A and B are shown apart, each in its own frame.
Chain A
Amino acid sequence: MTRILLIEDDAETAEVIVAELADRGFDVQWAPDGVDGLDQARAACPDAMIVDRMLPGMDGLTVIEALRKDRVGTPVLVLSALGAVDDRVRGLRMGGDDYLTKPFAIIELVARIEALLRRPMDSRETTLHVGPLELDLIERTARRGEREIDLLPREFRLLEYMMRRSDQLLTRAMLLEEVWNYKFVPATTNLIDVHMGRLRHKVDGPGDTQLIHNVRGSGFILRSRQ
């Protein structure tokens, strides 16, 4: 069972997160402040951590820095009411951790935790396979079974990202950040949907089994098996 440590000072928020993650089969421990959280993290060695940035006593980022100093590499999802992404947060993202601005949809939190837990497919591979899909990273070609798929560069990048994270819920915010490199929320809210529609049209041809699935209200999944 995957163990997750939640360090969050607001009891009500913590309760909802714990309940939601427990429903999805995670074993969640809760620490209400930074000092307690750091102790628990050192004692229990969780698989992932969710840390609120602003905590009484010791702030979230300090907790993470303390852990990193002890060479604890547990992936961390930082929650913050601060929208501004500063240098410390940039550092976090470079280190493979993630950052989520409050308020967030619970599904977004779950998707990001799962993304953190499941490191993407080995990047040294030059060909990616998901079900009947095959992506040649060197030749920059894509095929589904025998059928060649003609992709624009951006579509290629999107498909590559999705194939590395197959069977995983990818939210619009994640795709915007990772594939489009957006640092802001675009005014047009269906931006991703339109692009995804294009890609799906190419990937899932008429008569094919659907591979790209739209998860209502939250994002998309590339399923390797039905």
Chain B
Amino acid sequence: MRQIQFIRSNTFLWALAVAAAFALFVVGLFAFTYWKLDDYLIARSDRMITTRINFIADLPSARRIGAISDHLEQDSRGVQYAGLFKSAGTRLAGNIDSLPRALDLGGAAQGVRLDLIEKSAVHGPVIRVVGRRLENGDVLVMGRNVDETREISSVVGQALALGLLPAFCLCLLAGAWLSVRAQRRVEEVNQRVQRIVAGELRERLPEDNSDDPFARLARIVNGMLAEMETMINALAGVGNDIAHDLRTPLTRARLALERGRTHATTLEQLQEVTDKAMAGIDQSLAIVTALLRLTEIENSRRTAGFGNVALDEILREVCDVYEPIAEDKGIGLGVVIDRNVQVWGDRDLLFEAMANLVDNAVKFTPPGGQVRLELVSEDDTALVRVSDTGPGISTQEREAVLRRFYRSDKMRNTPGVGLGLSLVAAIVKLHGFRLIIGPAPGGQVEILAWTGRASKAAACRSRTSPLATVNQM
């Protein structure tokens, strides 16, 4: 099974293909070299025998026989052939037994079988021969054995083949090695992924410092895993927070009911107990409602309810709603509107966001303090600023306050669900606006909105880009 997988692996198949291509190339090279060499050597020997025959033919007839024997004597390798024949075919001199019949006298050099006087081991070798009829009617034949060209060619061929075989093997080996290596890494990645799937979120893919694609891919995936781990942990944290926050009022309700069941003797006492229990349950329900609302806004991809919204009207209205509450608490609530501004958004949601901000500001500002609502507009932005003289949000807490259920330790005893700012953040994000939390002391939260056409585009962007996050400066 593993064997087949290995052979089928892409890497190995590629290596095989490369090896085959390489072999084909080497064979081609060999053929070309052979062909070229052969051609060259034959042409050379042809030139030589033509020169020689011309030289001997030009000699006076008496000196020819001597020249031929000189010529043959000088040839120690025995590759030269020469013959002088009478016109009738009788041999006068040389080492050629008889005039070859196929020879075309006066033509160019050609390959012919010669009958030699001394039979060589190779019977009737093919020899390049040129013949000439002399002016006295004799026939002069000169030849040269070209078998040596074949020998040289075969040596070259052997050399190439000798190179080809190891190269081919090397290719296959490299292919096999790469294939096994890739397979091993894939197998390792697979095992780790299986562990991650099984819930081992801290697991990561093997990552070395090399720059090969595998390592880079692993780094990318590990980055993603880290991000996901953080998110999942955050979600789990939210689950814990919810459970904890629900448990507190439910415990109160349960205790009240339990005590009432044993101790209440009159109807009034029982009613008091049930009132307490109901208050506890109502608070739990308020948490659930707020949480569902938050999820609803966060998951909302709908901008169907969007339209032109006058921010100044919303601000005045929020001020109108909270004014009596602020007054009861001895807090001054003022609204400063620079000029009327319209943004593209959901009126109800924006109202909810502003109301939440003012609600928080009034809640956290001690009596005698001030809460200010400001609307500052520039060319294509509008800034809603809710500032108060309360403790504000410290730098360390800035990120935390946007988390669900975060309640500053200082505020543990202030009633509330602890979802207010998360809700505001979700609404702001849905609109593609920015939430800016100012420095403490003194609470300051700003919503930077885009007016006019730019705001529509921003809202669209925020829907398409999941990375559009809330800016906390």
Contact = CB atoms under 8 A, between A and B. Distances in A.
Given A83-B296, A217-B275, A191 B352 contact: no
A188 B324 contact: no
User: Binding site of B, secondary structure by majority: helix, strand, loop or mixed?
Assistant: helix
Interface string B323-344: 0110010000000000000000
Contacts of B416: 187
A186 B359 contact: yes
A103 B285 contact: yes
Contacts of B286: 185, 189
A191 B275 contact: no
A194 interface: yes
**Closest CB pairs A-B (n = 7):** A183-B348, A187-B359, A194-B324, A83-B292, A194-B325, A184-B352, A84-B296
Given A83-B289, A84-B296, A217-B275, A186 B355 contact: yes
Contacts, number: 48
10 contacts: A83-B292, A184-B293, A185-B286, A187-B356, A187-B360, A187-B416, A188-B363, A189-B286, A197-B324, A198-B324
Interface residues of A, number: 21
Contacts of A103: 285
Interface of B: 275, 278, 285-286, 289-290, 292-293, 296, 320-322, 324-325, 328, 348, 352, 355-356, 359-360, 362-363, 415-417, 420
B418 to A, nearest CB: 10
Contacts of B328: 194
B172 to A, nearest CB: 65
Contacts of B352: 183-184
Contact of B324 (A185, A186, A195, A217): A195
Among A152, A183, A187, A190, the one with the most B-chain Cβ atoms within 10 Å of its Cβ is A187
Contacts of A217: 275, 278
A26 interface: no
A189 B278 CA distance: 15
Contacts of B355: 186
A188 B359 contact: yes
B411 to A, nearest CB: 13
Contact of B417 (A180, A183, A187, A195): A187
A223 to B, nearest CB: 23
A53 to B, nearest CB: 15
A93 interface: no
B271 to A, nearest CB: 10
A101 B328 CA distance: 31
Contacts of B363: 187-188
A10 to B, nearest CB: 17
